[in-house]
């Protein structure tokens, strides 16, 4: 049994892909009603909460491999790692980012704490240090739909955006046969590093009208996120990450996705084409 720890972008898709392959897969969710379609597709939906250790232990029964993905609060994910160790789980695929102990971004420092705890646990593990998700472009979609323009503090920085559906596919692939990936760290990215200006051109092409991109300051970027309901401290972290794009922080590309999946990684063009309605 493979346990997927949350039903967000990566977790829900990983569970769907595993069920489609006929793999026994369990998905921990706070609200099972939200996962009704996945239950229908054959996923064993377990009601639980990463803040409630007893629900993690209950979901861990009979599990051999865990796909550890969540908003990466260290106490929550380390609780999952501890539970996995108690339940003789053999492998954990950890969804992470550009983790580093001295990152200016608190979430990346938290990811380091979690990665370190996983490595120290003695469990088999694989780290997926993903580049920024193409799905972040969806946050810009309401502005594109309303004003045919969007702004960002990313400047002209290039970003090797990876589609979170590909991250899920990579995690699922590794979870099915973890042996060859034990102790490995991968850096999943898309096929090319693109600027937000180039993303605007892709959106224009797909929706058939000009879309313009304008630079924002850090403060404007943060305020835009707060305005759509993102909590202040998360907005600050996200705006910080976007500002780092401008400095080339995400200007990297690897062939980890195609080499693990045996097919090309989805491009920004693929992503925008698949989500054209949101931008229209
Ligand atoms: N976004 C990026 O560009 C990016 C890039 C690289 C790496 N990452 C990493 O990707 C991970 C996030 O993955 P994601 O994008 O798939 O997440 P996501 O789409 O933001 O979804 C988060 C999920 O976690 C669930 N959740 C939150 N708290 C929970 C709790 N206490 N118990 C159970 N479930 C809980 C939420 O459930 P509800 O529906 O109940 O709220 C939601 O389904 C993080 O580690 C992040 O650092 C992100």
177 in a domain, yes or no?
A: no
Instruction: Examine the domain organization and report whether 113 and 201 are in the same domain.
Output: no
Instruction: Examine the domain organization and report whether 272 and 153 are in the same domain.
Output: yes
CA separation for the pair 230, 177 (Å, rounded): 37
pLDDT tens sequence across 132-166: 999 999 999 999 999 999 999 999 999 999 999 99
Neighbouring residues of 212: CB distance < 8 A, sequence distance ≥ 6: 148, 149, 200
pLDDT band at 130 (very low <50, low <70, confident <90, very high): very high
Instruction: Examine the domain organization and report whether 88 and 148 are in the same domain.
Output: no
Instruction: Examine the domain organization and report whether 113 and 199 are in the same domain.
Output: no
Domain count of the fold of the chain: 2
Pairing outcome for strands 44-47 and 65-68: unpaired
What confidence score (pLDDT) does residue 228 get? 86
Which domain covers residue 23, as residue numbers? 2-129
182 in a domain, yes or no?
A: no
**Radius of gyration (C-alpha) of the chain in whole angstroms:** 19
Q: Looking at the DSSP assignment, which residues form a beta bridge with residue 95? A: 128
Instruction: Examine the domain organization and report whether 122 and 140 are in the same domain.
Output: no
pLDDT tens sequence across 264-280: 999 999 999 999 999 99
Give the rounded percent of residues in the chain with a pLDDT score beyond 90: 98
Mutation test of ligand 1: which of 3, 5, 8 has the most ligand atoms closer than 8 Å to its C-beta?
8
Q: Is 165 in the pocket of ligand 1 (CB under 6 A)?
A: no
Q: Is 43 in the pocket of ligand 1 (CB under 6 A)?
A: no
What confidence score (pLDDT) does residue 103 get? 94
Instruction: Examine the domain organization and report whether 22 and 59 are in the same domain.
Output: yes
Neighbouring residues of 249: CB distance < 8 A, sequence distance ≥ 6: 98, 157, 241
pLDDT band at 22 (very low <50, low <70, confident <90, very high): very high
CA separation for the pair 231, 190 (Å, rounded): 29
Q: Is 70 in the pocket of ligand 1 (CB under 6 A)?
A: yes
pLDDT tens sequence across 3-12: 999 999 999 9
Instruction: Examine the domain organization and report whether 149 and 50 are in the same domain.
Output: no
Instruction: Examine the domain organization and report whether 111 and 147 are in the same domain.
Output: no
Phi-psi domain of 253 (left: phi exceeds 0; alpha: psi -120 through 50; beta: other): beta
Instruction: Examine the domain organization and report whether 6 and 115 are in the same domain.
Output: yes
258 in a domain, yes or no?
A: no
Which DSSP helix (H) or strand (E) runs through 186? Answer: strand 184-186
CA separation for the pair 88, 120 (Å, rounded): 15
Which DSSP helix (H) or strand (E) runs through 67? Answer: strand 65-68
């Amino acid at each position: 049994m493979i346990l997927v720890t949350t039903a967000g972008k990566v977790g829900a898709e990983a569970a769907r892909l595993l069920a489609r392959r006929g793999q026994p897969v369990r998905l921990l969710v706070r609200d099972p009603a939200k996962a009704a379609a996945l239950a229908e597709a054959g996923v064993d939906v377990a009601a639980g909460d990463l803040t409630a250790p007893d629900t993690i232990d209950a979901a861990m029964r009979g599990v051999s491999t865990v796909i550890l993905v969540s908003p990466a609060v260290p106490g929550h994910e380390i609780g999952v790692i501890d539970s996995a160790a108690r339940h003789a789980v053999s492998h954990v695929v950890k969804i992470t980012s550009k983790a580093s102990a001295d990152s200016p971004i608190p979430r990346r420092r938290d990811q380091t704490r979690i990665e370190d705890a996983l490595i120290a646990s003695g469990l088999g593990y694989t780290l997926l240090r993903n580049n920024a998700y193409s799905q972040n472009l969806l946050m810009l979609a309401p502005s594109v739909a309303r004003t045919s323009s969007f702004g960002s503090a990313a400047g002209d920085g290039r970003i090797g955006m990876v589609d979170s559906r590909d991250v899920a596919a990579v995690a699922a692939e590794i979870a099915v046969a973890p042996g060859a990936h034990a102790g490995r760290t991968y850096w999943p990215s898309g096929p090319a590093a693109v600027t937000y200006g180039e993303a605007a051109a892709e959106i224009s092409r797909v929706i058939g009208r000009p879309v313009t991109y304008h630079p924002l300051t850090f403060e404007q970027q943060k305020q835009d996120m707060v305005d759509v309901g993102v909590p202040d401290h998360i907005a600050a972290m996200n705006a910080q990450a976007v500002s780092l794009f401008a400095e080339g922080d995400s200007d990297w590309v690897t062939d980890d996705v195609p080499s693990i999946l045996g097919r090309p990684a989805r491009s920004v063009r693929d992503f925008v084409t698949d989500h054209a309605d949101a931008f229209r």
